[in-house]
């Protein structure tokens, strides 16, 4: 039986690392990409010591198109036929209203969540089409459907991920390539720390008094989606903790 090769962006922590551990336990061949080389190499050593997985690690910033193209075109032969692409790299920056936010934060989110995802997808997809097999898993968010104050561009980038995933399905009709958009609600990882520029106290307040989802919860869901029979495609999977739900429409009422 052929061993599947899984390419994971943003693999050095959080959901990406949890997915790497889950796929490694299943014996998959892994390509792990991320910006933090020390963490990537530590994860590679961990996985190769505790699982049958073979792991190739790449220091990669998905915002750099030339680097993405080079990394994927120069993969060792053993890792070059990518069966599952997990576009996990992404981030939120700040929580200020649109008229106060730093434009650099907007650019950072678009560059990573949209352009980075496009660069990696475009580099990997031709090989999948040539082999007539593959599964692209995109990391979306409930923020792409349900906006919230301060979400502005982050919500917009995740709405793009959702719609781009559906459009890929339309383009790939007639092939054996699947596309899934995973859309979690609140997941406790380093996500909030990144959003608040390393302010751990402010990040902890996001999850205070409630039980969020974990990175392992999302990894379980992704493993389920990718293990379905080849004729079975999960288009979109929305997940939320029980403690999170939907609020009423916002209405600002005059006080006089």
Residues 52, 30 contacting (CB under 8 angstroms): no
* Residue 146 is among the residues annotated as catalytic for this protein: no
Cβ–Cβ < 8 Å for 176, 133: yes
Q: How far apart are the C-alpha atoms of 207 and 16, rounded to whole Å?
A: 20
Q: Which helix (H) or strand (E) holds 31?
A: strand 29-34
Report the C-alpha gap between 6 and 214 in whole angstroms.
21
Q: Ramachandran region of residue 250, left (φ > 0), alpha (ψ -120 to 50) or beta?
A: beta
**Cα gap 146→158, rounded to integer Å:** 10
Give me the DSSP letters along 76-116. Answer: -GGG-S-SEEEE----------TTTS-HHHHHHHIIIIIII
User: What are the beta bridge partners of residue 183?
Assistant: 238
Angstrom distance (rounded) from CA 128 to CA 45:
28
Structure tokens at 211: 């039980």
Select which of 119, 148, 154, 207 is catalytic. 154
54 C-beta neighbours (distance < 10 Å), count: 19
Q: So which residues are the catalytic ones?
A: 154
């Amino acid at each position: 039986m052929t061993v599947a090769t899984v390419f994971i962006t943003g693999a050095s922590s959080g959901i990406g690392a949890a997915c790497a551990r889950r796929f490694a336990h299943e014996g998959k061949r892994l390509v792990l990409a991320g910006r933090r080389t020390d963490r990537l190499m530590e994860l590679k050593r961990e996985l190769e010591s505790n699982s049958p997985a073979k792991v190739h690690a790449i220091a990669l910033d998905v915002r750099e198109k030339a680097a993405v193209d080079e990394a994927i075109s120069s993969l060792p032969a053993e890792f070059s036929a990518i069966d599952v692409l997990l576009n996990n790299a992404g981030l939120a920056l700040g929580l200020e209203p649109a008229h106060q936010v730093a434009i650099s934060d907007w650019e950072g989110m678009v560059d990573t969540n949209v352009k980075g995802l496009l660069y990696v997808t475009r580099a990997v997809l031709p090989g999948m089409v040539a082999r007539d097999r593959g599964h692209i898993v995109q990391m979306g968010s409930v923020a792409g459907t349900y906006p919230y104050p301060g979400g502005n561009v982050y919500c917009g980038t995740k709405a793009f991920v959702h719609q781009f995933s559906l459009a890929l399905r339309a383009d790939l009709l007639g092939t054996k390539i699947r596309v899934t958009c995973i859309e979690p609600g609140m997941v406790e990882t380093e996500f909030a720390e990144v959003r608040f520029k390393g302010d751990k106290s402010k990040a902890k307040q996001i999850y205070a008094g409630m039980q969020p989802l974990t990175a392992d919860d999302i990894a379980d869901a992704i493993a389920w989606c990718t293990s379905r029979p080849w004729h079975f495609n999960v288009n979109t999977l929305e997940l939320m903790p029980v403690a999170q739900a939907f609020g009423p429409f916002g209405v600002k009422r005059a006080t006089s």
